[in-house]
Amino acid sequence: MQTIDEQIEVYTKFFHGLSNPTRYRIILSLLDGPKNVGELTEDIGCSQSLISMQLQCLRWCNYVKALRDGKNVYYSISDERVIALVQLGQSIADGNTDKICTCEILKNEKYIENKEG
């Protein structure tokens, strides 16, 4: 048994899983089939540590599953319904691209520059 607060927490966290560019790219990339951490890192173009951390999150929450093969660990989509969810979301968002991008509250863009400079 869960309180309504607990339910809301679960659902918002679940959707939060899809609200980060790195995690989202990982999922999109895995739609083509299983990939290991190195392949994903190259594909997405960020630090290996970030890919690895976000994979742990996606794995923990059952978006993806992991399979070790020697030195490599291959990740793949674990729940097919996630694919449907992503596609449905994209189809809704596609009709409203400009507005979504300029929403003053939803501004979780990929950070452009972290370094001093």
Partner DNA sequence: TAAACATATCAACATATATTGATATGTTTA
Partner DNA sequence: TAAACATATCAATATATGTTGATATGTTTA
**Footprint of DNA on this chain (CB under 7 A)?**
16, 19-23, 36-38, 46-50, 52-56, 66, 68, 70-74, 105-111, 113-115
Judged by DSSP in three states, 51 sits in helix
Smallest separation (angstroms) from its own copies to the CB of 44:
10
Q: Are 38 and 72 in contact (CB under 8 A)?
A: yes
In the stretch 42-81, what mask flags binding to its own copies with x, by CB under 8 A?
A: -----------xx-xx--xxx----------------x-x
Instruction: List the one residue from 3, 107, 111, 117 that touches its own copies (CB under 8 A).
Output: 107
Which residues lie below 8 Å from residue 86, measured CB to CB, with a gap of 6+?
A: 18, 27, 28, 31
